[in-house]
């Protein structure tokens, strides 16, 4: 999927923040106004904006789509073009690094986790929010009326177990 042109605007318009996930990102990370936070695959900045506004943290985002980043910039976010496998930040810069619904797009997941570890400060935290096999199989209308999407997505998404295995620090 190419998130370019009009797709970026529509994505920002129709993809909202899930309140319970936002709460978990903030409480699990311990982020405060003194934290420095990075979102990998920030897209239009939905979560980055919500985390920043809720905590007052210093934040940054990275995404490969210039069109998605253009939308994020309209929200006053500090975002840069790039990929999770080659983060454009110095070592030990962030207290919290996270991604939401992104890891299935990452070609080199181990490289992405290595980069996240590199830019995390000692004691920093990492969170990869993604759909589980159960979630993919029970997506309501999508799985009921388009059951072939289940097989495709199960092949695209990592299992939760393999994602945990990829993060070694």
DSSP 17-64: --HHHHHHHHHHHT--TT-EEEEET-TT-HHHHHHHHHH--EEEEEES
Give pLDDT, residue 107: 86
- Which domains does the chain possess? 6-130 (3.40.50.150), 132-169 (no CATH)
Dump pLDDT digits (tens) for 70-104.
999 999 999 999 999 999 999 999 999 999 988 87
Could you tell me which of 108, 105, 110, 118 has the C-alpha nearest to residue 38? 118
Q: What is the pLDDT of residue 129?
A: 87
Please tell me the predicted confidence (pLDDT) of residue 149: 64
The whole-number average pLDDT for the span 58-72 is: 95
pLDDT tens-digit series, residues 134-149: 665 666 776 666 767 6
pTM of the predicted structure, to 2 decimals: 0.82
DSSP conformational letter for 86: B
CB neighbour class for 147 (10 Å; exposed up to 12, middle 13-18, buried from 19): exposed
Please report, for residues 1, 44, 127, the alpha-carbon distance to residue 130 in angstroms, rounded to integers and kept in the order given: 17, 17, 10
Q: What is the pLDDT of residue 90?
A: 98
What does the mean pLDDT of the chain come to? 84
Of residues 47 and 154, more confidence is placed in: 47
């Amino acid at each position: 999927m190419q998130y370019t042109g009009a797709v970026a605007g529509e994505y920002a318009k129709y993809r909202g923040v899930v309140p319970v996930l936002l709460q978990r990102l903030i409480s699990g990370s311990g982020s405060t106004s003194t934290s420095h936070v990075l979102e990998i695959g920030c897209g239009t900045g939905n979560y980055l904006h919500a985390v920043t506004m809720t905590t007052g943290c210093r934040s940054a985002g990275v995404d490969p789509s210039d069109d998605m980043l253009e939308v994020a910039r309209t929200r006053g976010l500090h975002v840069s073009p790039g990929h999770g496998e080659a983060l454009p930040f110095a070592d030990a810069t962030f207290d919290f690094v996270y991604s939401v619904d992104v890891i299935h797009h990452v070609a080199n997941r181990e490289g992405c986790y290595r980069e996240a570890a590199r830019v995390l400060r000692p004691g920093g935290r990492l969170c990869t929010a993604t759909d589980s096999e159960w979630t993919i199989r029970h997506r309501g209308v999508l799985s009921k009326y388009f059951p072939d999407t289940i097989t495709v997505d199960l092949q695209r998404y990592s299992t939760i177990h393999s994602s945990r295995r990829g993060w070694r620090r």
